[in-house]
């Protein structure tokens, strides 16, 4: 007898016994953690694992406590002040959550000022991205490169 036939016969016997023996059926349902057969799933009790928020994997960092790009749009000073209030782990969370460490180096840095500089640099770049297509000019004239001087068109 091959394994497929053996398992099929076993499952049929279990199903037949569950149909004829209510106590066996209840034990099977408990073992499989399913709602009783024929019960309305909407009214079935939920297990504790479904009602709790899913946990982040242990190798994942906590979510960032602020949005550095939004703060960079308000100004570099605002961003630096907000970042200065965070501890080094919260700064690393910001870096990880906003993908500011593609080379996996910033997470290893030990000085908050160095991490803050990196967050400010990347956040300003992202905040200004696409500003050439907006009607609003940047506040700092050095942020926007000036147009090159073009020669006057010649009249023929």
For each of the chain's 156 residues, which pLDDT tens digit applies?
A: 688 888 888 889 988 988 999 888 888 888 887 665 555 544 545 555 455 666 666 778 889 999 999 999 999 999 999 999 999 999 999 999 999 998 899 999 999 999 999 999 999 999 988 877 776 555 555 555 555 566 666 665
Rounded CA separation 124/132 (Å)? 14
Is residue 90 a contact partner of residue 58, using CB atoms and an 8 Å limit? no
Q: Which residues contact 115 (CB under 8 A, 6 or more apart)?
A: 88, 91, 92, 95, 106, 109
* Among 71, 84, 144, CA closest to 117: 84
Backbone phi, psi, residue 10, to 5°: -65, -45
Q: What is the pLDDT of residue 41?
A: 47
Rounded CA separation 5/88 (Å)? 61
Is residue 74 a contact partner of residue 123, using CB atoms and an 8 Å limit? no
Rounded CA separation 57/128 (Å)? 33
Is residue 143 a contact partner of residue 136, using CB atoms and an 8 Å limit? no
Is residue 123 a contact partner of residue 72, using CB atoms and an 8 Å limit? yes
């Amino acid at each position: 007898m091959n394994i497929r036939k053996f398992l099929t016969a076993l499952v049929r016997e279990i199903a037949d016994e569950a149909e004829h023996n209510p106590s066996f059926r209840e034990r099977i349902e408990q073992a499989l953690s399913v709602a009783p057969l024929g019960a309305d799933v909407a009214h079935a009790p939920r297990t504790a694992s479904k009602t709790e928020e899913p946990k982040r994997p242990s190798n994942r960092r906590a979510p960032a406590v602020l949005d550095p790009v939004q703060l960079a749009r308000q100004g570099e000073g605002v961003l630096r002040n907000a970042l200065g209030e965070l501890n080094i782990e919260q700064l690393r969370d910001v870096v990880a959550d906003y993908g500011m460490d593609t080379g996996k180096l910033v997470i290893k840095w030990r000085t908050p000022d160095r991490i803050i500089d990196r967050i400010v640099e990347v956040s300003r770049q992202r905040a200004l991205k696409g500003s050439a297509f907006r009607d609003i000019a940047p506040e700092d004239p050095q942020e926007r490169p000036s147009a090159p001087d073009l020669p006057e068109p010649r009249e023929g």
